[in-house]
Amino acid sequence: MKKFTRIAIANRGEVAVRIIKACEEMGIETVLLHSEADINTRAYRMATKTICVGPAATAESYLNIPANINGALAGGAQAVHPGFGFLSENADFAEAVNKAGLTFIGPSPEAIRALGDKVHCKELAKQAGLPLVPGYQGENQDVAHLIMQAEKIGYPVIVKAAAGGGGRGMKLLKSSAEAHELIESAQREAQSAFGSPKVFLEKYLDRAKHIEFQVFGDSTGNVQHFFDRECSVQRRHQKIIEEATSPSLTDDLRRRMGEAACAIATMGKYKGAGTVEFLLQDGEFYLLEVNTRLQVEHPVTEEVLGVDLVKMQILTAQGDFVHDNKQIRAPKGHSIECRIYAENPFMGGVPSTGLLGHVEWPEGPGRRYEYGFDSGDTITPYYDPMIAKVIVWDENRPRAIQKMIRVLKDSVVFGVHTNIPYLIEILSHKEFVMGTMTTRFIETYFSESLKEPALTEIEKTVAAGALLQLRGGAGETAKASASPWGSYWRGI
């Protein structure tokens, strides 16, 4: 029986912090495999040991398989947790980890190839008789051939990275006129983000809801689902608000989708945490993809079920976890997660990088924060601009929505702009409150920048005082009063 004493983390940001915390509670030391750009981060300060695996460019650091393997070995780790993104769904990496005598905390390379590769997964689902969105998953990646296939499917068509996720390498084709440029762009982005330019095509369902099921498999071959999440609020095909459970499912639909999720995971001989994603439209559901990793939104499942999925991953990788149906309880209450991005909501969401002058996440019942940066850290332009996740739990969905709005208003981030005002607008919208939003919700109602609210005299005074303190002296009073909106100010 394995018993890890030190685990390497091949990732960064808030997910690295999440894994470090789980390891600490289990008495396991950690080795953070980081890039040169991530020295001034929370995970760097929290890890037992740190090893730099390369420069800021992801291809030379977080996507560099030999560098991560060598780093894990040099750090004395027995296992590697890949987090999400980067190499987390890379079968070659999982295989290399195992060949190096380490344990990959996740599914086997064979399961990743069968399910993590979106094209192979759809072939498997077809064999299992699961409903699929019409599309093209062929090997011919010539752009002209892909355009011909898109025309057969009928526009609008969506292009996706075969090895991808998280909205990266995804483009919406509305006509043949723009197809060539967008397909090439998707292939380039897929190569950059996932190390493979392979893409596939799907018919774009324009009134769909995004529903996913958390699945977990153990070493005995037993696969269970841990109920559902709804992630219909997406911008540029990337989720920004998630909740558990979905307000859109009947008991019968939940049962049928859960059975389908377990069926595809069982066919792939799945072990560890994974997610089966579906599109739901007009009462019919279609398999979208399987993510063979931990999800960004896993905390909402943990909140309604009272489980710790990261600890379960580690226990399963050690081989000493026997999955027990009795451990899966009925969901209790409702949980919502919002992703906090460093971006300007008043200028179309352009990235906002720089020094975090002050960060504060006020604690309280039913509040949970997962973040990768503290006051004094710097948000760089090299990676995804998500800086934190805010998660709430309450007795029911209306109370959870109101609690999330309160928590977002209480949260403080000075130094960069964030999307907090944007999130509050979304949570307050009648369609979100009613639970009737679809994947086009953002496009329909929030396609333009928010109008920046005018500041009150009190806010101006507070901002001027904060700026004065940051600049460190009364001698700056005159300048602060004349221009209180220096680079340190961020309105929420």
Indicate if 293 belongs to the active site. Answer: yes
- Determine the pLDDT at residue 470: 61
Residue 90 sits in the same domain as residue 155: no
* Structure token digits, residue 187: 């292939």
Report field, pTM of the whole predicted structure over 0.85: yes
Task: Find the CATH number of the domain harbouring 101.
Answer: 3.40.50.20
Residue 292 sits in the same domain as residue 372: yes
Residue 230 sits in the same domain as residue 328: yes
User: Among residues 171, 203, 235, which one ends one of the domains?
Assistant: 203
Residue 490 lies in a domain: no
Residue 379 lies in a domain: yes
Contacts of 192 (CB under 8 A, 6+ apart): 58, 59
DSSP alpha helix (H) spans, 356-476? 397-410, 420-428, 430-434, 441-445, 457-471
Interval 137-159 mean pLDDT:
94
Is the pLDDT score of 487 beyond 70? no
Summarised one tens digit per residue, pLDDT across range 316-334 is 999 866 555 555 678 999 9
- Domains in the chain: how many in total? 3
Summarised one tens digit per residue, pLDDT across range 24-43 is 999 999 999 999 999 989 99
Question: Choosing from 293, 339, 367, 490, which is the catalytic residue?
Answer: 293
Element (DSSP H or E) covering residue 303:
helix 298-305
- Determine the pLDDT at residue 220: 84
Task: Find the CATH number of the domain harbouring 180.
Answer: 3.30.1490.20
Residue 265 sits in the same domain as residue 245: yes
Report the chain's terminal Cα–Cα distance, integer Å. Answer: 51
Residue 93 sits in the same domain as residue 154: no
Residue 245 sits in the same domain as residue 374: yes
Summarised one tens digit per residue, pLDDT across range 237-254 is 889 999 999 999 999 999
Q: Which domain holds residue 33?
A: 6-105
Residue 214 sits in the same domain as residue 185: no
Return the number of other C-beta atoms located less than 10 Å from residue 425's C-beta. 16
Cα 196 vs. chain centroid, distance in angstroms? 20
Residue 311 sits in the same domain as residue 422: yes
User: Among residues 429, 446, 463, which one ends one of the domains?
Assistant: 446
Residue 251 sits in the same domain as residue 381: yes
Return the number of other C-beta atoms located less than 10 Å from residue 434's C-beta. 9
**Half-sphere exposure at residue 142, Cβ-oriented, CA atoms within 13 angstroms:** 4
- Determine the pLDDT at residue 87: 95
